[in-house]
Amino acid sequence: MRARDVFGYSFSAIKLRKLRAGLTTLGVLIGIAAIVALLSITQGLQNTITMQLETGLATDTLIVSPGGGAFGGGQDGGGFGGGAFGGADSGFRLLVNDTQTINGLSTDILTSIAVIQRSGYINSTEHERVTTIVGVDFAEYKNIYSTTFVSESGEIPDNPDNNTIIIGKRVNERQNGTVLFTAGEDVQILWTNATARPPQNESYTAHVATVLQEVGGFAFGGPSDSNIYIPISTAQEFFNTSECEIIIVKLANSDQATIDAVSRKIVDEFAGEVSVISSTAVLNLLGSVFSIIELFLVGIAAISLLVAGIGIMNIMIVSLIERTREIGILKALGMKSRTVLAIFLGESVIIGVIGAVIGIALGWLLANIVATVLGSGAITIGMGGGAGAGGGLLSITPVLTPLVFLGAFGFGVGVSVIFALYPAWRASKLKPVEALRYE
């Protein structure tokens, strides 16, 4: 029998029982739709978060922070946290001038800068705002974050005066767009020294040099829309400290070997009292977290497809019993067992293909509806980096990768065929004499 005729015969058998075939197809369809919707939303979410992270991250940088134990940058992505939470305070302090030590460690290190960070206020005559005050070397910081530490208008001074400040975009604007502070304005910078007894308010008058362009992403060591920036020397004096929160290390290149080697050297140099986190490690970690989430979601969706498969098997066995006599006729007319097998498998392929195609389309539609609902602000998830940041909308663009598309299609058809194998095999093994006698 020609393949086309086999297929035509399968199709005629399905057409005969439209409702039954429709319901069976629905089972496959729902499973596939669930898989596609979940995967494309997760993929979209991952892309959004990764993109936001990458905006604030430079892949050729390492972040050194006090608190030993963790060694960042490994392929295992285990560099996040580590000793940051655990263990007793060893009394180790990361100092601003440790940058000199770090700079001398490797020729792969281009430069490193210390970052001092405190919560505080920025006040003008009319407005007051909570912010994070960040002390950095402007010239070096600009060098490392050349795409994000950029002024909205004018230049970021390389050799700023002690009272120069630069403010992040969001510090400057409320949600309704009112500009709070303008470049050239004099403002008060306030900070409460809680370690002093009694706690003491410190303040000084600063001059707004410029406002940063919108960064938009997470601040992971890098510039953030909700921070204000002061020169490192001013920060040391104002906060009365020689310690820093983190040291940002800029590497000559961003390959994994360099990241690993330099990270190890730094950790060794400080006798394990510091953690080194690479941007790539953070991204890797994020990637593996998403992989687990995806696996989990797909696992759940796959169960529904498994149920659909059992449904197919059930319906095919019923169909086989109903059509015993028909199979007998076909065999009496000279049809071979393998053709009977092909007819039954053909039916399951048709169900699988229709279910998978409509399922993928429906899943994609669902993903877009969910993304639109999330994006419209019906649900708002705060994504602002840094301390005291405002909320932002989560905009997800669902992504349907060719792999997901083909995978879902193959899975749908595959499940249909696998569960049809047994009934089809049984049909093909029917003895013509007995099948013809069947009432």
Partner 1 sequence: MAPVVEAVELKKTYMLGKIPVEALRGVNLKVESGDFLAILGPSGSGKSTMLNLVGALDKPTAGTLLIDGVDVSKLNDNQLADLRRRVGFVFQFFNLIPRFTARDNVELSMSIAGVSKVERKKQAEDLLETVGLKDRMNHKPAELSGGQQQRVAIARALANNPRFLLLDEPTGNIDSKTAHEVMDIIKSLNEKGVTTIMVTHDQHLARAAKRTVQMFDGVITLDVVNGELT
Write the CB contacts of 372 (distance below 8 Å, at least 6 apart in sequence): none
List residues binding partner 1 (CB under 8 A). Answer: 1-2, 5, 9, 12-13, 15-16, 325-326, 328-339, 431-433, 436
- What are the residue ranges of helices labelled H in 160-213? 169-172
Nearest distance, CB of residue 76 and partner 1, angstroms: 57
What are the start-end ranges of the E strands in 242-375? 246-251, 274-278
Q: Between residues 306 and 433, which has the closer beta carbon with respect to partner 1? A: 433
Handedness of CA 217, 221, 222, 227 (dihedral sign): positive
Q: Between residues 20 and 338, which has the closer beta carbon with respect to partner 1? A: 338
Q: Between residues 174 and 431, which has the closer beta carbon with respect to partner 1? A: 431
Query: Which amino acid is located at 439 in the chain?
Result: E
- What are the residue ranges of helices labelled H in 17-75? 18-56
Q: Between residues 56 and 328, which has the closer beta carbon with respect to partner 1? A: 328
d(CA 383, CA 96): 30
Nearest distance, CB of residue 426 and partner 1, angstroms: 15
Q: Between residues 144 and 430, which has the closer beta carbon with respect to partner 1? A: 430
d(CA 355, CA 368): 20
> CA triplet 122, 124, 128: central angle to 5 degrees?
50
Nearest distance, CB of residue 330 and partner 1, angstroms: 7
Nearest distance, CB of residue 421 and partner 1, angstroms: 19
What are the start-end ranges of the E strands in 67-185? 109-123, 128-136, 164-167
With contact defined as beta carbons under 8 Å apart, do 25 and 309 qualify?
A: no
Q: Between residues 13 and 189, which has the closer beta carbon with respect to partner 1? A: 13
Nearest distance, CB of residue 16 and partner 1, angstroms: 5
> CA triplet 337, 342, 345: central angle to 5 degrees?
130
Where is 423: in which H helix or E strand?
A: helix 402-428
Nearest distance, CB of residue 397 and partner 1, angstroms: 47
- For residue 333, the SS3 value is coil
d(CA 142, CA 127): 28
Nearest distance, CB of residue 355 and partner 1, angstroms: 23
Give the chain's end-to-end CA distance (angstroms, integer): 27
Q: What is the CB neighbour count within 10 angstroms for residue 48?
A: 18
Q: How far is CA 215 from the centre of its chain?
A: 18
Query: Which amino acid is located at 189 in the chain?
Result: I
With contact defined as beta carbons under 8 Å apart, do 193 and 240 qualify?
A: yes
Q: Between residues 142 and 331, which has the closer beta carbon with respect to partner 1? A: 331
Nearest distance, CB of residue 26 and partner 1, angstroms: 23
Q: Between residues 37 and 341, which has the closer beta carbon with respect to partner 1? A: 341
Q: Between residues 50 and 324, which has the closer beta carbon with respect to partner 1? A: 324
Nearest distance, CB of residue 20 and partner 1, angstroms: 14
Q: Between residues 250 and 331, which has the closer beta carbon with respect to partner 1? A: 331
d(CA 137, CA 114): 8
Nearest distance, CB of residue 23 and partner 1, angstroms: 19
